[in-house]
Amino acid sequence: MCYILLMKKIITFLGIHGALSCSAFLNKFNDYEITVCSTNNFFETLEKLSQEKINELVIIGAGPGVYAQQKELCVLAIAEILQNSTKITYIAHFDISFIANSLNQYADFRAFWNCEKELYNITADFFDVNPKFIKFLEVNQKNISHAVEEAKFRFFNFNNREFYPDFLKNLSSFNLYNSIRVLDNKLNYYNSNFLFGKSDKVKLLKKHLEKIGEDSFCNVLISGESGTGKTTLAYSLHFASKRKGNFEVISCANFQENLLESKLFGWEKGAFTGADKSQEGLFEIADNGTLFMDEIGEMPMVLQSKLLRVLQDGKFKRVGGKQEYSVDVRIIAATNRDLKEMINQNQFRADLYYRIAAIDINSIPLREQIQDIGYISNFILREIYKKRDNVYNFVQLDNSQIETLKKYNWPGNVRQLQNSLERAYILDEWDFKFLQKEVLEEEVLKKENLKENFIQDKSDSEIVKNVSKDLDICHSIEDIKDFETFKKDYIKKVFKICNNNITKTASKLKISKNTVKTYIK
């Protein structure tokens, strides 16, 4: 009897409809193992199950997508499972007549669908689920939906997460609190300063992350501005991989050279004053895991060569030691600097760059996913309420408030948004007028910095003088209205004076070559 119980499985999909429907089924039949999937991996899921000896299989809502080829492959996979004497029930809220008609010769296969009803109501009707539980789902649907969206928001490959079945099992027993707590405990791995959104750029990033996350060996470089969630991307990649070791973090900008070396490689007793015992470094602690090296562009050149050796052959020596240690560590590095430019200036090793940047991905500035700001803001705001044990009073931002947030440029990215929402919560400033003040202050600061550029380069004051005269800015800089147009004209003038040399122009203006390229187009 125990054997049969272990061989009962239910397939469902991610999202609110899958969660409600599967929990409704489990409320009546709680001895089924749960397998979660998406449209993208439905066929692969069926293929894996065909290799197991399953007594009963229930499919709720999951499906092969709209393409005929996908449907045909899934029909073949289901048929293979049926040939193993498995009883299969397929419930859907979309038309599965193609699959049903193709498998009607199998007595152990039954299918039911209804395109006009909610999936959990179809499930409840078909399996005669307790009406009280359906009422419970209807009353708590908003909270359940938010919990599921929050989890999916944090995990780009949520369908591989083993805790989702625990969430559904708790939910199926009328226990909403413990169900959400299961997700919260797992989400503590993640830094709420970074959130995924639904814009096209974010969707593309997710696709890349899903593929990278399946790999457990390739080193990754994450580039992007401060406050865009590079640390959380690294967390995501580690927990998506099959690495069983620790996830360790170090910022290369926070330590002097000797201390950074000791932190990374450890030290032997007597290696330096105060070293009264041997100490493991982060490479040993992260063995079979991941080492996240933030601000790797700040690493001294001497240490770069030592890091390169570890990446090449997985071997190193502790500070002051002779014994050689071997480790298997995946490196995920992050930087907000242009490492290729640093290579040109002999500030970063090219061979190290190509070791850590086997795959190079970019985090997304908030201004480039501004359409997501309402979704992101409400997510952060709920966390702010939750942190203060006040989540039951949480109210989402209205459309006018979201439109106000969309008008701001967010130079500090999601981290700045979080700080602004904290301020609004504490000071009850939900009109966000303080952001308008910050915009004005930023424009003043830009103009002040621009004026400083005219007297910054003492060695070539004639260039400054000529450009200043040509643009007539010595007396009218305070009246500039179109700052971007002015800046473009100014950079073009300097570029022409520097004989169309991008490097010289960037050096003269103390800006990056990419900025020069942008404005001379």
| DSSP 8-state class, residue 296 | G
Contacts of 289 (CB under 8 A, 6+ apart): 238, 243, 244, 245, 246, 247, 248, 329, 330
Contacts of 191 (CB under 8 A, 6+ apart): 229, 231, 232, 235
- The CA-CA-CA angle for residues 326, 327, 328, to 5°, reads 140
Read off the tokens for 199. Answer: 């814009």
Domain assignment present for residue 419? The answer is yes
Read off the tokens for 479. Answer: 């009246």
Domain assignment present for residue 487? The answer is yes
pLDDT at residue 250 tops 70: yes
**Integer CA distances (angstroms), 173 to 89, 186, 287, 371, 427, in order:** 23, 20, 40, 38, 40
Domain assignment present for residue 444? The answer is yes
Residues 137 and 49 in one domain: yes
User: Is the Cβ–Cβ distance between 102 and 108 less than 8 Å?
Assistant: no
- CATH code at 346? 3.40.50.300
Q: How far apart are CA 196 and CA 414, in angstroms?
A: 11
- CATH code at 30? 3.40.50
Domain assignment present for residue 182? The answer is no
Residues 26 and 168 in one domain: yes
User: Is the Cβ–Cβ distance between 199 and 371 less than 8 Å?
Assistant: yes
Residues 306 and 248 in one domain: yes
Contacts of 224 (CB under 8 A, 6+ apart): 230, 334, 336, 362, 363, 364, 365
Domain assignment present for residue 399? The answer is yes
Residues 167 and 204 in one domain: no
User: Is the Cβ–Cβ distance between 252 and 293 less than 8 Å?
Assistant: yes
- Over residues 404-462, the pLDDT tens digits come to 999 888 988 988 999 999 999 999 999 988 887 665 555 444 545 554 554 344 333 44
- Over residues 73-125, the pLDDT tens digits come to 899 999 999 998 899 999 999 999 989 999 999 999 999 999 989 999 999 99
Domain assignment present for residue 190? The answer is no
Residues 63 and 166 in one domain: yes
- Over residues 372-416, the pLDDT tens digits come to 898 889 888 888 888 888 877 888 899 999 999 998 889 889 889
Residues 502 and 481 in one domain: yes
> How large is the angle between the packed helices 119-127 and 16-28, nearest 10 degrees?
10
The SS3 assignment for 468 reads helix
> What are the start-end ranges of the E strands in 274-429?
290-294, 315-317, 324-326, 330-335, 359-362
Show which of 307, 337, 362 is a domain's final residue.
362
User: Is the Cβ–Cβ distance between 93 and 124 less than 8 Å?
Assistant: no
Q: How far apart are CA 383 and CA 59, in angstroms?
A: 34
Instruction: Give the per-residue pLDDT at 479.
Output: 44
Q: What is the mean pLDDT of residues 40-69?
A: 87
- Over residues 24-43, the pLDDT tens digits come to 999 999 889 998 887 878 88
Q: Are strands 33-37 and 87-92 parallel, antiparallel or unpaired?
A: unpaired
- pLDDT band for 209, please (50, 70, 90 cuts): confident
Instruction: Give the per-residue pLDDT at 457.
Output: 40
Read off the tokens for 436. Answer: 């308008």
Residues 155 and 289 in one domain: no
- 498 vs 85, residue with greater confidence: 85
Residues 351 and 491 in one domain: no
Residues 56 and 164 in one domain: yes
Residues 417 and 444 in one domain: no
Q: What is the mean pLDDT of residues 507-515?
A: 79
- Segment among 157-171, 182-196, 290-304 with least mean pLDDT: 182-196
pLDDT at residue 4 tops 80: no
- pLDDT band for 3, please (50, 70, 90 cuts): very low
pLDDT at residue 272 tops 50: yes
Domain assignment present for residue 367? The answer is no
- Over residues 237-249, the pLDDT tens digits come to 887 787 888 889 9
Q: Are strands 109-113 and 290-294 parallel, antiparallel or unpaired?
A: unpaired
Sign of CA pseudo-dihedral 232, 237, 240, 242: negative
Instruction: Give the per-residue pLDDT at 79.
Output: 94
- 81 vs 464, residue with greater confidence: 81
By residue count, the chain amounts to 521
The SS3 assignment for 474 reads coil
Strands lying side by side in the sheet with 33-37: 33-37, 8-13, 56-60, 87-92, 109-113
pTM for the complete prediction?
Answer: 0.63
pLDDT at residue 15 tops 90: no
Instruction: Give the per-residue pLDDT at 441.
Output: 52
Q: Which residue has the tokens 């004053």?
A: 273
Domain that holds residue 415: 374-430
Residues 318 and 219 in one domain: yes
Instruction: Give the per-residue pLDDT at 380.
Output: 86
Residues 348 and 382 in one domain: no
- The CA-CA-CA angle for residues 48, 50, 53, to 5°, reads 110
- 492 vs 302, residue with greater confidence: 302
Q: Are strands 290-294 and 330-335 parallel, antiparallel or unpaired?
A: parallel
- pLDDT band for 192, please (50, 70, 90 cuts): very low
Q: How many structural domains is the chain composed of?
A: 4
Q: How far apart are CA 491 and CA 515, in angstroms?
A: 9
Nearest C-alpha neighbor of 26 from the set 60, 61, 64: 60
